[in-house]
Amino acid sequence: MATLISDTAPWKDMKAHVGEIDKTHLRDLMTDTERCKSMMTEFDGIFLDYSRQRATGETISKLFTLAEAANLKKKINSMFNGEHINSTEDRSVLHVALRASKDTTINSDGKNVVPEVWQVLDKIKEFSDKVRNGSWIGATGKALTNVIAIGIGGSFLGPLFVHTALQTDPEAAKSAGGRQLRFLANVDPVDVARNISGLDPETTLVVVVSKTFTTAETMLNARTLREWVSSALGPQAVSKHMVAVSTNLKLVEKFGIDPNNAFAFWDWVGGRYSVCSAVGVLPLSLQYGFSFVEKFLKGARSIDQHFHSAPFENNIPVLLGLLSVWNVSFLGYPARAILPYTQALEKLAPHIQQVSMESNGKGVSIDGVRLPFEAGEIDFGEPGTNGQHSFYQLIHQGRVIPCDFIGIVKSQQPVYLRDEVVNNHDELMSNFFAQPDALAYGKTPEQLQSENVASHLVPHKTFTGNRPSVSLLLPSLDAYRIGQLLAIYEHRIAVEGFIWGINSFDQWGVELGKSLASQVRKQLHASRNKGESVEGFNFSTTKLLTRYLEASAD
Ligand code: F6P
């Protein structure tokens, strides 16, 4: 019987250590300058301050002991060595190979995968250059200036995050010129309408992105846009206006997309870890040009190397991952708020939500043993300061939710108004610096009384404080930094999974809903086309389906 991490002495020791930490308050911990100094680290421009964690030096060293018990170093190495650490699907987990330099060797099943990665990258460069410079044109001879990328989950959220972050980078925006990149994910006809609104099929390239090329939503959207293209330009136009990204090139061809216009990736790339494959690289390269994508990949690579080789004491993803485990499994805080202080990162939280919750939302260990503790965390977030006017009340006075504050030193878009006290970016950053302290220190009744606050309001204005956060400060937000940020989160999530002893790289939990939807789909078809009554569902679903069918009948 495999050992669960919760059965080990270091786990039990951490549990016992909570009692010690409960005797402390961040208000006091923050007065210890040496402690604070030891809880800051820096790598390649990224500055991490984790002094506002409910932790002492002893906590950190106990976490390292826990990491040892979980064989963290060995597991990280196994990932980089291409071992089949995704055991339930019998696959390697090699998204790091997607951003490796050409001269690196990374083996999966005895074969160096890096040359194949670069073959596809070179093909993307060539194709996107042609589309951008107008040598690949549409069926009616017009340049393709707009791209609709169809895909869902990992075939959507990562590329959307990077696109949104690059859109306001002045150099990237200049390179995009007037081009448009849109993402069609939802099977909802509303999303189709939004995507095609204002676009002309003559000048539009559709990229169908699906690892499996079987995902119901994506395939229906692909058929819908194939119809949109062929009804406007004729069926022969599809070969000029539709390309694909997939691991399943047979199905791509069957769908009617020329295999020469397909961009491959591999089963050792998990969907939610695929933004650095053709999944993200193709649409982003079409929009911004390949050089921006190269910079993005380099940023991710910088963190990969750091994660693989830096000692745990200053290894940013390792520290962040261990602290997450500390918060979730020992302090009992199940959620995390991702709070970037820049609008450019508005899609970071939705992306990380999938990476984290699909990876670590597991109920059993990697050996199939039901976990006696909760793994995974509930991720959500909004850019500051918008979030402050939304859910911060709860994180200041209600539930304790560990927060990630992400700040950018040099804004993508500095604005200076002559008469303001500070420029707009300094105004934004004032909040970035203030919020972590507000959470950590809170406000005591004594402070309020000394400010002559009316006594009946004192309880309402009291903040208990002692609420943990980390602050990440990035020098700027260009393609390179975006790549770094992505890799920090990807590896942090892997670290959590490695400690919990789960498989962070499968996603069986999403299957049940998919198969029930297919049962409903069959019923809707039979009822609409053959007048069959609803059967085989529970009372509630039967009632809802019948009502829907009756009310939507033509
Ligand atoms: O939601 C389940 C899932 O399998 C994700 O893991 C994946 O990113 C998404 O569906 C899309 O899958 P595909 O790229 O195969 O269309």
Q: 28-82, pLDDT tens digit by residue?
A: 999 999 999 999 999 999 999 999 999 999 999 999 999 999 999 999 999 999 9
Residues 373, 420 contacting (CB under 8 angstroms): no
Tell me, letter by letter, the H, E, C secondary structure of 134-148. Answer: CCCECCCCCECCEEE
Residues 295, 480 contacting (CB under 8 angstroms): yes
Q: So what's the pLDDT on residue 333?
A: 98
Residues 85, 517 contacting (CB under 8 angstroms): no
State the CB neighbour count (10 A cutoff) for residue 206.
26
| Closest C-alpha residue for ligand 1 atom 2 | 510
Q: So what's the pLDDT on residue 419?
A: 77
Q: 233 Cβ partners below 8 Å, 6+ apart?
A: 138, 139, 140, 201, 202, 241
CA–CA gap between residue 277 and residue 297 (Å, rounded): 10
Strands of the sheet containing 40-43, edge to edge, are 40-43, 46-49, 469-474, 403-408, 335-340, 378-381
pLDDT at 407 over 70: yes
Please enumerate, as own/partner, the contacts of 348-352 that have beta carbons within 8 Å and a separation of 24 or more.
348/161, 348/165, 348/381, 348/406, 348/485, 348/489, 349/379, 349/380, 349/381, 349/382, 350/157, 350/160, 350/161, 351/157, 351/158, 351/160, 351/161, 351/275, 352/379, 352/381, 352/489, 352/493
Where are the extended beta strands (E) located within 227-279? 242-246, 262-264
pLDDT at 1 over 70: no
| Closest C-alpha residue for ligand 1 atom 8 | 154
pLDDT (tens digit per residue) in 267-312: 999 999 999 999 999 999 999 999 999 999 999 999 999 999 999 9
Q: Which of 152, 221, 269, 356 to mutate to test the pocket of ligand 1 (most atoms within 8 A of CB)?
A: 152
Residues 111, 130 contacting (CB under 8 angstroms): no
- The mean pLDDT of 122-149, rounded to a whole number, is 98
CA–CA gap between residue 75 and residue 97 (Å, rounded): 16
**In angstroms, what is the span from residue 151 Cα to ligand 1's centroid?**
8
Q: So what's the pLDDT on residue 417?
A: 81
248: left (phi over 0), alpha (psi -120 to 50) or beta: beta
Q: Ligand 1 pocket, 279 CB below 6 A?
A: no
Q: So what's the pLDDT on residue 511?
A: 87
Q: So what's the pLDDT on residue 414?
A: 79
**In angstroms, what is the span from residue 355 Cα to ligand 1's centroid?**
11
Query: Which residue in the list 102, 142, 514, 543 is annotated as catalytic?
Result: 514
pLDDT (tens digit per residue) in 345-394: 999 999 999 999 999 999 999 999 999 999 999 999 999 999 999 999 99
Q: Ligand 1 pocket, 152 CB below 6 A?
A: yes
Q: Ligand 1 pocket, 155 CB below 6 A?
A: yes
CA–CA gap between residue 328 and residue 325 (Å, rounded): 5
DSSP state of 538: -
256, with CB counted inside 10 A (0-12, 13-18, 19+), is middle
Q: Is 427 a catalytic residue?
A: no
Q: Ligand 1 pocket, 215 CB below 6 A?
A: yes
The stretches of 316-419 forming alpha helices (DSSP H) are 316-325, 348-360, 392-397
**In angstroms, what is the span from residue 20 Cα to ligand 1's centroid?**
43
Q: Is 358 a catalytic residue?
A: yes
Which ipTM score applies to this complex?
0.98
The average confidence (pLDDT) of the chain is 97
Q: What sign results for the dihedral spanned by CA atoms 215, 219, 222, 224?
A: negative
Q: Which atom of ligand 1 is least distant from the CA of 152? A: 11
Q: How many residues does the chain have?
A: 554
CA–CA gap between residue 253 and residue 273 (Å, rounded): 25
Pairing of β 46-49 and β 469-474? antiparallel
Q: Which atom of ligand 1 is least distant from the CA of 274? A: 8
Query: Which residue in the list 202, 217, 294, 358 is annotated as catalytic?
Result: 358
Q: Which atom of ligand 1 is least distant from the CA of 218? A: 16
Band (pLDDT 50/70/90 cuts) for residue 457 is very high
Q: Ligand 1 pocket, 336 CB below 6 A?
A: no
**In angstroms, what is the span from residue 214 Cα to ligand 1's centroid?**
9
Q: Ligand 1 pocket, 274 CB below 6 A?
A: no
Q: 332 Cβ partners below 8 Å, 6+ apart?
A: none
